[in-house]
Homo-oligomer: A and B are copies of this chain.
Amino acid sequence: MFCQFEIMTVKELIEEAFGGIFEKDLLAEITEVVKITDFEENDILIDFGQYIKTMPLLISGAIRIMREDFDEGELLLYFLEKGDTCAMTMACCIGDKKSEIRAIAENKGLVAMVPVAKMEEWMGKYKTWRSFVFQSYNNRFNELLWAIDNIAFMKMNERLENYLDETSKVNRSRIIYKTHQEIAGALNSSRVVISRLLKALENEGKIRLNRNNIELLN
């Protein structure tokens, strides 16, 4: 949209997404070692069981972090947005462990990839990097708690409303281009149940249902 890779330098991209939180020296180092990668909607950025060797810093776009059951179930944990990083990945990098989650692009965007070695080096060297890493862990932790609140304490209709709100937010649109099937997947439910609850929301005047999209009203 207004953040075209082609018309901005790496320096500008990093500056725009992380300028507020990192000191000058660190920004310069990041700019130097980072590799910028772009992704398209529904690209799988990280998958289960994968070993990860670089830490991603999200410059633009949104990523959904999914958890999967051994046989079939699937569940949206949370979204990542500009300025975020994947706590799970950091953990993988450092502990040399397999990924426990799947990261899928919710829409198109850019990530800056930092080599693990650097990220460890910066931990000792830059206080702002340390707080950034901690802050990230903390945010992700709280988002997992929120995910737990949702599935443990809320009924499906509330979870659905939350999902619609969050999806609308990360896609910056009151119209959500998802099928009932996709929504059922994100909530570990079934299509019929979602259709039923969506219809109820429509009858309450909260949404309008169309083919392949849902409009949030009010």
Contact = CB atoms under 8 A, between A and B. Distances in A.
Interface of A: 67, 69, 73, 75, 77, 87-88, 90-91, 94-95, 97, 100-101, 123-124, 127, 130-131, 134-135, 137-138, 140-142, 144-145, 147-149, 151-153, 188
Contact of A94 (B88, B100, B134, B151): B134
Per assembly, the copies of the chain total: 2
27 contacts: A67-B145, A67-B148, A67-B152, A69-B149, A69-B152, A69-B153, A73-B152, A73-B153, A75-B148, A75-B153, A90-B134, A91-B141, A94-B138, A95-B134, A100-B145, A123-B123, A123-B130, A124-B127, A137-B137, A141-B141, A141-B144, A144-B144, A144-B145, A147-B148, A148-B148, A152-B188, A153-B188
- Interface of chain A: mostly helix, strand, loop or mixed: helix
A69 B150 CA distance: 10
Contacts of A123: 123, 130
A141 to B, nearest CB: 6
Contacts of A145: 67, 100-101, 144
A57 to B, nearest CB: 18
